[in-house]
Structure 1
Amino acid sequence: MKNFTITTNLIIVIFLFFADQMKAQIVNPPSTEFTNACASPSFNTYNVKFSFESTLINASNQFILELSDENGSFSSPEILFTSAAGTITTSPATINFPVPTTIAGEAYKVRVKSTSPASTSSGSNSFAAYYKFQDTPFTINNLNETGVYCAGGSYLLTIDNPGTGDNDSPLQYPSLTFNWFKETSPTTSVFVDSGASLAVSEPGTYFVETNYGSCSSNSFSNRVTVSQASSGGSTSISSSFGNPYCSSLGATTLSTVSGGVSYQWFKDGNEIADATSDTYTTDQSGLYEVNVSLGGCSTSGSINLDANQFTSSIDVEEIPAVNLMPASGTLTITLIDTATNPEYEWYLNDVLIPGATGDSFEASQTGDYKAVIKQTAGCISSKEFLFVIQETFPDVENIPNLISPNGDGVNDTWVIPKEYISGTNAEIILISSQGEIVFQTNDYQNNWPQTELNFIDVNPVYYYIITTEDQKTKKGSITVVK
């Protein structure tokens, strides 16, 4: 009788063990159908797929999708989705959901729970997730290009709020954080510090980005070059229209270092009344000087401004517009100018065209052109015009899945069959691999990409959706190579 009791108890224990195992395995870990969740006001829809033992699910069951914290912990999960009772009965299943606007981190996970019977999956693979409230360039220090501090002191860089013009300051979104960087070369930089401002005590060029971690972003500032001054040292003055500059363009703005305690401008040795800021606007030639007090030290600078007049124009559309080659196969371009003793140069795809030295040129090839007018007497200066000539619309048979926008004039833009371009009312939508719509039009001009693409990934892939006027759809991908 004793042996029978032991055997019975053992069977009960084994049964309970396997029952718990079956219960724990009702819902399997979900798989995310995205790499990173880079959400924004214009895009916030993501999918996860999961499987479960459908024979064990009761009719009243609900599935709940939970989100961990930014470190992957489910100690206090956030509910992203709850299904209605009995609506998900077939495995595998897909859940669509938006991420919270408070999300910001590199190691989030999701998991799925069932209510009848109660079961919880383990977490998914980790993923970065951010809600990009603000995703456009913004300004710091009112767009001043330079700053200066005294030895032993510092110069404060701050994000403008609201900034200048149409500046969309990220400070309007309290949940955002920021990372400051110092340039180490024209294309590289190092992280310096975090925060809405930065006290600089080391010369260099600085900028700030909104912290969206692994998610790509256009939320970054202008550059400010900061230098150290000593009493009696010199500083630079820049002219917004260059020097020499043509006064026909209007007045030019002279700028010196920002952040000074006080300023005083002079022209030809005479103090200019009320000229006491870090900028001064003028359309007159002359020797301009400025004295800057930085509190613990002072500095000064000068510029000999030449404001001779030189007007010019061209009779074709300049970039970003496009000029179409006429049916005759040639297009004549003419320059008009008031330059003294002018010289002319014409370029095709950045190569000087031999023998093209007049104020007009007859183009017989498509490509990227540049016309240069040089004034060789008086105010030595030049003016250049950039323009593009393209075929009216080339007749291509297939939709290409590869482009190379490297400026060589070959396959630089996505050129598609005439049945989908301007005048057909076909809608073109291009979507990044992160799921963001990067281009949308009903009047496609065979001109994407119009601006330089950010090669964060090697050979990035975009996806297109073409919907014709009669609602027929074409879908595919475009790989971008340099």
Structure 2
Amino acid sequence: MRNFNIYKIVVVLLFSFGAKINAQVVISKPSLGFTQACASPSFNSYNVTFTFSPETAITSTNQFIVELSDDTGSFTNPTIIYTSAQGLITTSPATLNFAVPTTIAGEAYRLRIKSTSPASSSTPSNAFAAYYKIQDTPFSINNLISTGVYCSGGSYLLTIDNPGGATNDSPLQYPSLTFNWYRETGPTTSVFVASGETLSVNQPGTYFVETNYGTCTSNSYSNRVTVSESSTSSTSEISSSLGNPYCSSQGATTLSAINGISYQWYKDGNIISGATGQMYETNQPGNYSVNINLGNCSTSASINLENNGFTSSIDVPEFNSLNEGETLTATVTTDAQNPQFVWYFDDVVISGANTNSYEASQIGNYKVVVSQTSGCIASTEYVFSIREPFPDVANIPNLISPNGDGINDTWVIPQEYVNGANAEVTILTPQGKIVLQTNNYQNNWPENQIDFVSVNPIYYYIIKSANNQIKKGSITVVK
């Protein structure tokens, strides 16, 4: 009997040990704490909840693992995105927090939960969209030029700008991203056209591109470009990389034209030698234009480039005269932010002259430099002079002797024709070549030495007064 009881005890122990070894745990289908995983560098935290039973089946060395499928929902090569510490989770239900991989992009991912001791696995979760939005800011295409032109039967290429920089976080900097192009069909509607980094357009319309983040909302989209077919009146646009007006203190700005085969740039109507590329860099304001060869047709574009960043004016003319005891007050008007004023007399800074006006009393040359000291740091200057009053002669002389003796050295005419009288003064050679033409004559001709050959040279003048009265005559130059 004693041996029989020992046998029963051994059998019970062996049965209990075998039951413990073969214990199983059942893990429920994971419940997602989200509908989409639209992650970004600023947010990447998601929860999943599951139950398991029996709790007593979990050993002290068990770890729970969260696996992620591929974008089709397959677990053939799953990615582990969470592993708990051994023995950390012992009660059910349990909620785990995880981050998605930075390469994730798709509409049909799934999760499943696995345990290690004992080994078990849940059924997959519901499918969900998941994207990591590594770039989530607006970007530019075609150098922010809002128009494009193509020849009849041809096409126009739209491209995402690269490289990126402070003003353009180009998505092309991130090789994992893909892109979808759209054409607008209304103020708030559009249709998908194609995928890729570029789009060749042969249909008029307004186009834009978005980074492909599927059903996740995103701020990663481009500016709009309106493309048209060329006609005899077709024009396009020029963009300035620093805007217009641009801040000259930031350096040169880059002017960009639309895509074409060849180019020729102009400034103020004059051809710019060597400027035959799609872009032209300049730090000079002015009216710029470009002729663009599109192959079977052509187009043009223009921009009035400004670089001050502020406007200003001065209320005195360039040339002034004062009688004894008189003064001249010059005043600058400007919209510059925190303006600074520096006044000069004969190129020397005038001490204490730092307001927008100055009262001048001396004969000489004056200058004021106006600077904007906030925002776009820029400056401009104005020059003016004060001279002794012109002599009030009664007649127009027909003889001068520019020999430096201080007598009759220049052609001095009545005050009604000089210094702001709005009379046009023209001096010509006998061959009809114009040597002087001005609406603000200063009694200062000739300013350069006149060559004498064998005879005293003769010049001719035409004076047209403000009321359109004309005076004509000759000027003989003697030594």
**TM-score (normalizing by structure 2):** 0.52
Cα displacement string for residues 112-158 of structure 1 (whole angstroms, at most 9, x for unaligned residues): 11233332211112211111111112222222222222122211111
Q: CA deviation at 1:61?
A: 2.5
Structure 1 residues 48 and 274 mapped into 2: Cα distance closer, same or farther (>3 Å)? Answer: same
Structure 1 residues 202 and 255 mapped into 2: Cα distance closer, same or farther (>3 Å)? Answer: farther
For 1:298, the equivalent position in structure 2 comes to 298
The structure number with the bigger radius of gyration is 2
Q: CA deviation at 1:338?
A: 7.3
> What secondary structure is seen at the aligned counterpart in 1 of 2:185?
strand
Structure 1 residues 237 and 126 mapped into 2: Cα distance closer, same or farther (>3 Å)? Answer: closer
> What secondary structure is seen at the aligned counterpart in 2 of 1:142?
helix
Cα displacement string for residues 43-87 of structure 1 (whole angstroms, at most 9, x for unaligned residues): 222111111111332333222211111122222221112223322
Query: Quick one: distance in 1 between partners of 2:305 and 2:100?
Result: 56
- CA RMSD of superposed structures (Å): 3.9
Q: Aligned partner of 1:157: which letter? A: L
Query: Quick one: distance in 2 between partners of 1:247 and 1:162?
Result: 21
> What secondary structure is seen at the aligned counterpart in 2 of 1:181?
strand
User: Does 1:161 pair with 2:162?
Assistant: yes
User: Does 1:38 pair with 2:38?
Assistant: yes
User: Does 1:262 pair with 2:262?
Assistant: yes
Structure 1 residues 258 and 140 mapped into 2: Cα distance closer, same or farther (>3 Å)? Answer: same
Query: Quick one: distance in 1 between partners of 2:104 and 2:237?
Result: 45
Query: Quick one: distance in 2 between partners of 1:93 and 1:224?
Result: 52
Query: Quick one: distance in 1 between partners of 2:23 and 2:184?
Result: 56
For the 8 Å contact 1:148–1:257, the answer to whether it is kept is: no
- Pairing of 1:16-95 with structure 2 (within 5 A): 26-53=26-53, 54-95=55-96
- Pairing of 1:244-393 with structure 2 (within 5 A): 258-266=258-266, 270-277=270-277, 283-284=285-286, 290-300=290-300, 311=311
Structure 1 residues 167 and 85 mapped into 2: Cα distance closer, same or farther (>3 Å)? Answer: same
Query: Quick one: distance in 1 between partners of 2:102 and 2:73?
Result: 18
User: Does 1:108 pair with 2:105?
Assistant: no
User: Does 1:235 pair with 2:242?
Assistant: no
For the 8 Å contact 2:239–2:257, the answer to whether it is kept is: no
For 2:121, the equivalent position in structure 1 comes to 120
Query: Quick one: distance in 2 between partners of 1:300 and 1:171?
Result: 30
Query: Quick one: distance in 1 between partners of 2:306 and 2:136?
Result: 40
For the 8 Å contact 2:37–2:129, the answer to whether it is kept is: yes
Cα displacement string for residues 365-419 of structure 1 (whole angstroms, at most 9, x for unaligned residues): xxxxxxxxxxxxxxxxxxxxxxxxxxxxxxxxxxxxxxxxxxxxxxxxxxxxxxx
Structure 1 residues 182 and 253 mapped into 2: Cα distance closer, same or farther (>3 Å)? Answer: farther
For the 8 Å contact 2:183–2:206, the answer to whether it is kept is: yes
- Pairing of 1:207-218 with structure 2 (within 5 A): 207-218=208-219
> What secondary structure is seen at the aligned counterpart in 2 of 1:37?
strand
**TM-score (normalizing by structure 1):** 0.52
For 1:9, the equivalent position in structure 2 comes to none
Cα displacement string for residues 16-62 of structure 1 (whole angstroms, at most 9, x for unaligned residues): xxx9xx98871101111122111122222211111111133233322
> What secondary structure is seen at the aligned counterpart in 1 of 2:214?
coil
Structure 1 residues 23 and 119 mapped into 2: Cα distance closer, same or farther (>3 Å)? Answer: farther
> What secondary structure is seen at the aligned counterpart in 2 of 1:185?
coil
For the 8 Å contact 1:160–1:169, the answer to whether it is kept is: yes
User: Does 1:186 pair with 2:187?
Assistant: yes
Query: Quick one: distance in 1 between partners of 2:169 and 2:206?
Result: 22
Structure 1 residues 303 and 89 mapped into 2: Cα distance closer, same or farther (>3 Å)? Answer: closer
